[in-house]
Structure 1
């Protein structure tokens, strides 16, 4: 009996190799990193998701919560100029610390809700569209384009998914790429 051929590893991560449109490329890579975040959480118990990782000082679930706030700040408050709470009242500590009375499902749902709103704001907008005034940006000279905001989000995710690789290795020895 002939064995099936070994799967060929993808040469590139992210979107398909034939994606060349800058808007599609940025959105596809952003989605790829969002999914990478979730992949890297797979297999962790609720206690492992919630416990701060030493010496980092934050938990994997706290990182997810932080990225929800990042999505909110850059796309809803920044790009769309929505009048929303952009930072938790307790600052960075509250942004990265999951309250004991919040379930993992609630944190994940809140994160996913922010991603859903973000996607609705950027899917049909052009990369050259400038952020609306009145939210994060009040001066037209400082309002970035959607392309600039998406590039910032992409690097934010890439950096934090890398941080999660370190946290995961410290938690259970699991390594990623």
Structure 2
């Protein structure tokens, strides 16, 4: 799903719409890049750090889960670090591109619902996500998510180029 870049001149009804616009753009751009890669490239690492495109996709789903559900909402999550095995990102052999894509989109829909039902100044629920610090506001959490997506999408740009996959934004 190709989305137009949410340029600063694109009208928005508020900061919440701006945050969601960027998150949707980055999420869908990431998904389209992973979708365009050949099957043999999505589980292959082209970088010394060793991560694969599918691992990145799963990681970003868990990033949203950790910051929105486990953090902001204070929901008990059985495996908030379910994208990791030890100190590495991990995708099980039975996890597919389609299942990970659906999970990331569902997580994005949950994030949009949380934003629709809260003010950006709402402070998150206390819980283990905050490492004993005061919980952040929804706005700070969304800002963090935007930078996380932007940074990782840049990483994926390099991997896609090395794999002769799609280039550009």
| TM-score bucket of the superposed structures, by smaller chain | 0.7 to 0.9
RMSD of the alignment, in Å?
A: 2.1
* 1:170 paired residue number: 162
Change (3 A) 1:34 1:43: same
* 2:96 paired residue number: 103
Give 1:90's match in structure 2, choosing from 85, 95, 99: 85
Structure exhibiting the larger radius of gyration computed from Cα positions: 1
Give 2:69's match in structure 1, choosing from 66, 71, 76: 76
* 1:8 paired residue number: none
Larger relative contact order (Cα-Cα within 8 Å, sequence gap ≥ 6): 2
* 1:151 paired residue number: 143
CA distance in 1, matches of 2:58, 2:141: 19
Structure 2: gaps of 5 or more residues: none
Q: Which runs of 4+ in 1 moved over 4 A?
A: none
Q: Is the 8 A contact 2:124 2:135 kept in 1?
A: yes
CA distance in 2, matches of 1:125, 1:99: 35
CA distance in 2, matches of 1:152, 1:173: 28
Deviation at 1:77, TM superposition (A): 0.3
Aligned length in residues: 163
What secondary structure sits across from 2:155 in the alignment? helix
Deviation at 1:124, TM superposition (A): 2.1
Structure 2 length normalisation: TM-score?
0.85
Structure 1: gaps of 5 or more residues: 1-11
Structure 1 length normalisation: TM-score?
0.82
CA distance in 2, matches of 1:36, 1:176: 10
Confirm whether residue 38 of structure 1 aligns to residue 31 of structure 2: yes
Deviation at 1:138, TM superposition (A): 7.2
